[in-house]
Amino acid sequence: MKKVLRRLATGMIFLLLSACAPQTDGPVKLSDKVKVTRLLVLPFRDMSAIYGKSHSALCPLCGQVFLTGEVQKNAVDFLSNNLTALLKSRTTFTVITDTRADLFLSDLSAGATEKKSDRMLLMEAGRRADADAVLVGYIYRFRQRVGTSYASDSPASVAFGLHLINIPDGRSLWAGKIDETQHSLSHNLLEIGSFFKRGAKWVTSEDMAASGLEKILKTFPNP
């Protein structure tokens, strides 16, 4: 009887792991009419600083709603630097991190979004950098865990989105997002796959964010 129960339990775990396995597609193929060689990559924007914590924030480009929360001080640099490194190592785009893009950020901080949409500002920043497309990210949450890797009082939670915008016409060419809070196995048995993948540990916000970037960039276009 014990052997039968053990086999049933093993089978259930296998099925759950299979169900939770990510269904990864390949990179998105751009239209033949879209030519992207030079890609401007802008720093992430902290949307929690704009909306405040625990608010429903609209993505400026697609209108999707995210719940804002704490954003660590190092979050913008961490995500921006990791994103740039991944793009340079995995794509054949000429990646631009041009200082002229600071004009875009200056416009935003000066309240120019009341006069121009984010999409228009992105297009202007891309033209100033002589780019074909611009990639921008928005951070809504980047909360560090409270506790250790084996005992957490408050788990890590991250939410951010990426958008690739065509410079000539402002069309969205690609988008990806991560909105995740780690839960214990007892909280949701269906998360058994990610639970064991993370070594049955409570991960840091950096670990979760880096993993999220890797995941969504698997579908990022590559010329």
pLDDT digits (tens, 9 = 90+) for 6-17: 443 433 333 333
CB 79 within 8 A of CB 211: no
The larger pLDDT score, comparing residue 179 to residue 24, is at 179
Q: Does 24 score more than 50 pLDDT? A: no
| Residue 145 pLDDT class (50, 70, 90 cuts) | low
pLDDT digits (tens, 9 = 90+) for 65-77: 999 999 999 999 9
Average pLDDT score over residue span 35-63: 93
Structure tokens at 58: 């609209």
As a whole number of angstroms, the longest Cα–Cα distance in the chain is 72
Find, among 48, 41, 97, 92, the residue nearest to 70 by Cα.
48
Torsions phi, psi for 87 (to 5 deg)? -65, -40
Q: Tell me the C-alpha distance between 92 and 208, whole Å.
A: 26
| Residue 110 pLDDT class (50, 70, 90 cuts) | low
Number of CB atoms found within 10 A of residue 30's CB: 17
The larger pLDDT score, comparing residue 50 to residue 111, is at 50
- Element at 135 (helix H, strand E): strand 133-143
Q: Which residues touch 149 (CB under 8 Å, ≥6 apart)?
A: 201, 202, 203
- pLDDT given at position 108: 55
Q: Which amino acid is at 202?
A: W
Average pLDDT score over residue span 111-130: 80
The larger pLDDT score, comparing residue 182 to residue 133, is at 133
Q: Tell me the C-alpha distance between 182 and 209, whole Å.
A: 12
pLDDT digits (tens, 9 = 90+) for 89-102: 999 999 999 755 66
DSSP 8-state code for residue 66: E
Number of CB atoms found within 10 A of residue 164's CB: 21
Average pLDDT score over residue span 189-211: 67
- pLDDT given at position 154: 64
CATH of domain 2-219: 3.40.50.10610
- Quickly list H helices, the chain: 2-20, 48-51, 75-90, 102-109, 118-128, 192-197, 205-216
